[in-house]
Amino acid sequence: MNVEAIKAIYAAEMRRTRNTLMQSIASPVISTCLYFVVFGSAIGSRIESVEGVSYGAFIVPGLMMLSLLTQSISNASFGIFFPKFTGTVYEVLSAPISFFEVILGYVGAAATKSLIIGIIILITASFFVDLRVAHPVWMVTFLLMTCVAFSLFGFIIGLWADNFEKLQIVPLLIITPLVFLGGTFYSIDMLPPLWQKISLLNPLLYLISGFRWSFYEVADVNVVLSLSMTAAFMVGCLIVVWYMFRTGYKLKQ
């Protein structure tokens, strides 16, 4: 394994983050805090608790997932799209480095950025509500798998996109609505029976539910199913990335 090449890609991506701290770190954290303050105060004043958990604390895992998913996709997609846009990606492709090592560098950096944002949001939220983590190991597991899985997904979007507009289509028009409809601000038990069944078709519901269970042992679906779907999504994304590199999809025109 070419460790030096992995370190070079990883360091370059992390250096870009340090040069744009306001955009990369501060902006998503501030946005999430605003969501927390507005929804926690406005709706929390009318809903005291959900399944025995105060409403302010109940929405914290969902808000963390909202930020983690969007930032993982954004960081990874831009990380590979910009070299494509400038043509420097061909230097990477011509170097003695495998696709797996390229993935480790780019996706590892994107996942690290998202993990930092998630930790900062968690610390910030602890100043607003009384947080407790019932299963720290499971919480870290879900956190890491989410960052890696959606960084891989973002990498796929970055390879697929032909312009900057396409980079925003999936996060804005698909991921964000699915997160909002996936139980971020409510439990699906609060919905009518028909809408509960429809909500089960939302794949992000399982991710949010499993992550919330690691905090409060409260879940809309079985935690094993949540973990299995997250792992399956991560493996599926890895297979798609491998296929793109093997075929040179939008890389070797």
Distance CA 39, CA 16 (A): 32
pLDDT bracket for residue 146 (50, 70, 90): very high
Distance CA 92, CA 79 (A): 13
Q: Which of 80, 58, 70 is nearest to 29 (CA)?
A: 70
Give the predicted TM-score (pTM) of the model. Answer: 0.90
Tell me whether residue 194 is exposed, middle or buried, using C-beta atoms within 10 angstroms of its C-beta: 0 to 12, 13 to 18, 19 or more. Answer: exposed
Sign, CA torsion 186/73/143/228: positive
Helix or strand run (H / E) with residue 54: strand 53-54
Using one digit for the tens of pLDDT, what is the confidence trace for 179-228?
A: 888 888 888 888 888 988 998 899 899 999 999 999 999 888 999 999 99
CB atoms within 10 A of CB 68: 27
Stretch 10-25: mean pLDDT: 76
Phi, psi of 49 (to 5 degrees): -155, 160
Please give the C-alpha separations between residue 25 and each of 51, 55, 68, 104, 242, in angstroms, as whole numbers.
32, 26, 11, 21, 29
Distance CA 225, CA 207 (A): 9
160 has a pLDDT exceeding 80: yes
Q: What are the structure tokens assigned to 48, written together?
A: 């005291």
Among 95-99, 134-138, 222-226, the least confident range: 95-99
Using one digit for the tens of pLDDT, what is the confidence trace for 123-134?
A: 888 887 888 888
Distance CA 107, CA 204 (A): 20
Q: Which of 168, 198, 205 is nearest to 183 (CA)?
A: 205
Question: What residue spans of 26-59 are helical by DSSP H?
Answer: 27-42, 55-58
Angle at which helix 3-19 crosses helix 60-86, to 10 degrees, equals 110
Mean pLDDT of the chain: 85
Stretch 39-45: mean pLDDT: 66
